[in-house]
Structures are given as C-alpha cells and as structure tokens.
Structure 1
Amino acid sequence: MSDHKDTGGPLEPEDSAAENGRTPRKVIGTPPQTGTLLAAEEEPAPQGAGDELDEASAKRAERVIASLFLLASASSVAFIAYYIGWSGRNGGMHGIDRALESNLWLGGTMAVSFLAMAIGITLWVRRLMTSKQIVQQRGDLRSDEPTRQAFTEDFLDGAEDSAITKRPLLRRTLLLAAAPLGLAPLVLLRDLGPLPEKKLRSTYWGPAVAKAKAGGKKGVRLVVDGTDKPLRASDFASPGGMITVLPEGIHHADHALNEIAKAVTILINVPADKFKPAKGRENWHVGGIVAYSKICTHVGCPAALYEQTTHHILCPCHQSTFDATDAAKVIFGPAARSLPQLPITTDDEGYLIATGDYPEPVGPSFWERG
C-alpha cells in the first residue's frame, strides 16, 4: 500500500470530522482553539465557601466583616474631624512644628480606613460567596437577545450569591464605611493650601527693631545665617558678594522656624557706581550693600542665585530674575513684583543693622490677598 499525501481538495467540515472521531484539520491563518476559559467540569468549592458554609459560621463572618466596616467608617470620620477641628489648634497642622503630628494622624486614620474596608471586602468574598465555575464560550462580539437575557440572569444570580440583598447588615455597614471616604476629597479640596491671612504682612524684623530701639539702639543687628555672628560693613566690603542674614535673636523667638522662613534675607554688595536706589530709599543701603527678601515673589522659592557680572538675582524654580542694582525689579520670568527691600544702616560700632521691617508683604504676590 503506497503512501498518499493530500495536496488539495475541499476540507472536511469540523462537525463531520468530530462525528467520525477524528481531530478536525486546522485552516491556515485561523487562531488556535483554546476552548473555554475554564474547564467545563466543575470542581468542588473550597472548604467553607458559599453553600458549603453553615449559617452559624456565616453569621460569625458577617459580624466580623460588619465590625471592620464600622472601623473604616470611624477612621474616616476621625480623619475629617482632625483635619477640620483638632489640627486648627496651636497654629494649625501646616506649621513646621506640627507637620509630623498631622502626618501621623491624617495618614494613620486614612490608612486604617482603607485597610479595614479592604479586609472586610476580602473576607466577604472568601467566606460568604460561593466558588462556582464560570464558563465563557467564544463567540461573536455582538450580543444577541438570548445573551443579554442570560447576562441579566447571571447578574441577578451573582447579586443573590454575594448576599448583598440577603444580609442587610453588611450592605448598610458597607455604605456607612464608604460614605465618609466620599466626603474626604471634598474636605481636602476646600484647602489646597493655608491662607496666610495677615501673617506675611510683617516679619520678625519689625518686633526685633522695636525691641532694639526700646533699649536705646538704632536697630537690630544682622547676623550671618548658620553662625549667628553680627556682620560689619567692613567684613562685607568686596563687591559682587552675597550672603544670607537674619535678625539677631530670632532663634529664641516663638515658632522660630516659621519666623526664620519669613525673615530670611539676602545681603548683596553692589558696586556703588552702579547702584540706583529707589526714590525715598536713598538711605536704605550702606555704600552699595543692600538687603532684599530671599523669598521669590512668584511662588515663594528661595531666590538664592546671584550673577556677579550682571548683578542679577535668580530664582532657580521658574527662572524669575531681579536686578539687584535697581531695587530688585523683575527683568525676566513669571514673578509679578520686585523683591521687598529691607532698610539697613550701621550702628556706632560699624555693624550692619536693620532700622525697620519690610514695607510690603514678603512672598508670592497672590499671598497679599490673604
């Protein structure tokens, strides 16, 4: 008997081939047949799941899950209560001294809420729902009427199997747990950042100068940030230099870190022949040594870069540029106004001193509306 090789001809229909007990031939270009997503033969449900769980065990699981949902609800309410109420005391949660406390409370309560709800839903699925096999046949993507009807029936069966209608305690406690979580974003959106109100209209320079004058002095000394050493004009005589200074004694003030953040000042030595003092501020400098707020008037970044050749002060965040020779006016970038200038002079011992506070609010321009 000679071998025969099929080289063409019509293909045998798959149904006919299946009836004859042979595997149907695969047509070139068709995807491989994978059958159903899950085996058609049902496997036994896991121990203790769905119908295999007696009602007494189901009731115990229900109480545990409901307790977790109640814990999630209480944690969400605690988050909102702390954010609105308790965090507003003692300077609010936005102060540097309260940052750690607020992060622990807000992060902890929200984490407990999400964790309790997640564990509750997981236990619900594992302990109170059945583990029926789901078979999905391949077919046309377009759903016909019988398919839609079958989906409706499956959906209703699933709702009944989930016990969402059978166990009202779980349904109600789940809704109770989810409601505060839905309100939390609304509470957070109301405060994208604390309004400074009138806190930025004055800095520690004002009370420090007033205290110094009450003691018979002309003003408060400028001290170098980091060393707290007072600075003589002769110590800063080289043109082109820049240094960060603060009012003397600020580290002993209440809420010192917040006060330092507002009062931080840059001292620049501009060549006297190039310096153009603003009208009414002719005596606010010492031989070209001038003081400006270090807080950029755009969004509050530290304007800490200085070009000695051009005498430009730069903010590295958004490239706002200020002219140190001309009252720190804006010459480039998104900043809307000049850096506030601090009036300075020297005392009888030659130390640089401030004779008053900034005449305008420091920081971003939009904060002035606070």
Structure 2
Amino acid sequence: MTAKGELERVENDLFDDPGLPAHEPRPTDVDEHLEKRAERQVALLFGLSAVCTVLFCVSYFVFEIGDNPSELLGFGASNLTMGLFLGLALTLIGVGTIQWARKLMADTEIVEYRHAASSSEEDKVETLAALRQGTEESGIARRPLIRNSLLGSVLLLGAPAVIMLRDLGPLPGDKLYTTVWKRGMRVVQDVSGTPIRPQDMEVGQLVNGEPAIFFEDDAEGEPLYEGIELQQEKAKAAVVIVRMQPDDIKPWPGRENWGVDGILCYSKICTHVGCPISLWEQQTHHLLCPCHQSTFDLADNGKVIFGPAARHLPQLPLAVDDEGYLVATRDFTEAVGPSFWERNNDEPGDE
C-alpha cells in the first residue's frame, strides 16, 4: 500500500470525540443530611477497626496456648480469635476508605492526555498541584471526625506487631545471669548422673558434667524440672570437668582454691554463639569449639587464645563434700554463654 493510501485509511478510521456524559451528582453531594450520615458511617467503620485491634490484643492474653490450649468451636481459641480480629481490623479500614472515596471525596471526571515517559518540569509542577488539590477535595482537613478516626485505627495497628513480638519468647529478666548451680550441689556425669570423686579422674581426662539436681525429686516425689524447662536449665548448667597437673594451672587472683587437686570445672557453652564444647587437647590444655574454632586455655582460667569468641569461659568453683564427691561452692560468678546487650564488659578476673 502506498503512503497516500495508508493516510486515507487512517483518516477514514478516525471518529469524533464523543465527549463525557452529563455529570450526575451523588445523593451526598446535594443532601447535607446524607453527607453527614455517610461521614458517620465511615468514622464508625474506622472505629470498629480500632475495637477489633484491641480485641486482637485481648485475645492474645486471655486464651491459653501450649500444652492445654483454650478451644473455641473445636479450634485453638487464640489463633482463631487473633486471626479473626486482625483480619476484621484491616478489612474495616479498607471498607471505610472505599466508602469515603465513593460518597464524600470529590466526584469530578478528569481527562489525562498521553504524554512522554519522561516528565517535564511543568508536569512535575502539575502533579504536585494535583496532589494538593486531591488533599483539598478529599476533605480530610475539614472533616476531622474522619481524619482522626482513620489515624487512630491505623496507628493502633502497631499494637498487634508489638504483641506478636512477644511470641519470640518471654523476657529473660535475670535468668541469663544465673544457673541452677549452688553451694554444695554435686557435679555428676552427663547422662548417667554418676557422682564424681577426685580419685576417679586421671590427669588429662575430660568429663562432661551437669548438676545432680536434674536427677532429684521434690518432697512430693515429682521431678524438679520437666519438659522444656528441664532442657533449658540443663543447657545453661552444662559443664566440662578436666584434670591436669596442679603446677600447670595459672589461676587469677581469688581463684587459687577454685580447683581440687588439679581438677577444674568450666561452662560447656562457648562464649561466641553458644555451641557446646568438648574437643579437648590434653597436652596443651586447650578446649576447642567445633563450630567456629574458638580455642580456650583451661590452664589459664579459660582464656581465649584463638577464634571469634570475645570472652573467657566462666569457671565453676569446686570443693569436696563429706563423702568425697566433687561439689560446687557457688554458682558461676558471671553469665554463661554468648554476650548480650545488658552484659557488662569487665576485664577477665574482675569478678
């Protein structure tokens, strides 16, 4: 087809601009009573959203979870109500916003001509002006009831986020600083629970240990620790007991009597990220972490000599009871495991 023929075809395909139909005002545009009612409806939706958010928070604390969860309609009450109320809170904000736009925001038709992809300075100025105009037409400045109820419902949505952060676990309080070790508590072998006598250990030997309390019952014959609590306490209180020549030991001031005939006891938890340690080099007295190769000198107070760990291993002071078994004389003098924000940065030996 020639250029002339193509031009004629395009001209024949053109049609007149039909224009826009006559504007028909909405009921809320002409009836002030209906406008006020619509405004109250939108505010009510935002208010109900805020109520649902509060009920979400209440559900978190009211219904039990874990071993004996509360039930509702055959489902876990906590998950059911929290999901329901959070969903309703978000839905009501969406419905209220749509109702606001349909009945109260400016109802005028606009025409936007196609333009180049790159905006000109004039377009940018016009865009900002349109944004300002939209703000004015939305009536948010002159409708404080809607504005304040929307802001309240949206801001309150931050509460579920804060509440759900609590599911990461309860705040530890001072539990990070203490273990179940106490004066007179026997040191026993891990798994078997066999008490340890100094004469049972040879020079160069390492034994994985734990406190005897895990094998004891209370006055009513019930285990002192069970389930998750048992695992948590065992992890914190895990120790390694080593024996070396007394002349090889270089105790810090105040630690001269923390061992028994060359037998020392240290936390089994690496101070880097908390891996359990038991790779023992008899000749060098070094204890190696298998995770990131942090190395501690147990003859020199658990001092770090290699690797990413920034703190020495906490040492548990030992003694012998009347029956000749190894016992702790007190709990650790510092927190076991990795560093945390609240932990002080005292130099080794300050305790």
Taking the TM superposition and a 5 Å limit, the aligned residue runs for 1:221-370 are 221-233=186-198, 236-237=201-202, 239-248=204-213, 252=224, 260=233, 264-272=237-245, 275-278=248-251, 281=255, 283-298=257-272, 301-308=274-281, 311-315=285-289, 319-363=293-337, 364=339, 367-369=342-344
CA separation of 1:167 and 1:78: change in aligned 2, threshold 3 A: farther
Q: Mind listing any 5+ residue stretches in structure 2 that lack a counterpart?
A: 70-75, 217-222, 346-351
CA distance in 1, matches of 2:250, 2:142: 81
Question: More displaced, 108-117 or 144-153?
Answer: 108-117
Question: More displaced, 237-246 or 145-154?
Answer: 145-154
CA distance in 2, matches of 1:134, 1:275: 90
Which letter does structure 1 place at the counterpart of 2:118? L
- The share of aligned pairs that are identical, in percent, is 30
Which letter does structure 1 place at the counterpart of 2:45? I
Question: More displaced, 325-334 or 227-236?
Answer: 227-236
Q: CA deviation at 1:358?
A: 3.1
CA contact (8 A) 1:196 1:367 kept: no
Which letter does structure 1 place at the counterpart of 2:153? A
Length-normalised TM-score, structure 2:
0.59
Which letter does structure 2 place at the counterpart of 1:176? G
Aligned pair partner of 1:152 in 129, 143, 158: 129
Query: Which residue pairs with 1:46 in the alignment?
Result: none
Q: CA deviation at 1:68?
A: 2.8
2:94 is paired with a residue of what secondary structure? Answer: helix
2:233 is paired with a residue of what secondary structure? Answer: helix
Q: CA deviation at 1:141?
A: 1.9
Taking the TM superposition and a 5 Å limit, the aligned residue runs for 1:29-48 are none
Q: Deviations over 1:150-190 (max 9, x none)?
A: 76347635763x5645754332111122344569999999x
1:330 is paired with a residue of what secondary structure? Answer: strand
1:138 is paired with a residue of what secondary structure? Answer: coil
Which letter does structure 1 place at the counterpart of 2:49? F
Query: Which residue pairs with 2:95 in the alignment?
Result: 123
CA separation of 1:361 and 1:60: change in aligned 2, threshold 3 A: closer
CA contact (8 A) 1:65 1:170 kept: no
- Give the total of aligned pairs: 304
CA distance in 1, matches of 2:92, 2:144: 15
Which letter does structure 2 place at the counterpart of 1:333? G
CA separation of 1:157 and 1:298: change in aligned 2, threshold 3 A: closer
CA separation of 1:134 and 1:333: change in aligned 2, threshold 3 A: farther
CA separation of 1:358 and 1:230: change in aligned 2, threshold 3 A: same
Taking the TM superposition and a 5 Å limit, the aligned residue runs for 1:161-240 are 164=140, 168-180=144-156, 203-206=179-182, 209=183, 219-233=184-198, 236-237=201-202, 239-240=204-205
CA separation of 1:285 and 1:119: change in aligned 2, threshold 3 A: same
Q: CA deviation at 1:263?
A: 5.5
CA contact (8 A) 2:201 2:243 kept: no
Q: CA deviation at 1:357?
A: 3.4
CA separation of 1:142 and 1:234: change in aligned 2, threshold 3 A: same
Question: More displaced, 326-335 or 163-172?
Answer: 163-172
Query: Which residue pairs with 2:115 in the alignment?
Result: 138
Q: Deviations over 1:210-259 (max 9, x none)?
A: xxxxxxxxx32113445544334465548443413124368638x96599
Question: More displaced, 321-330 or 226-235?
Answer: 226-235
RMSD of aligned residue pairs (Cα, Å):
5.5
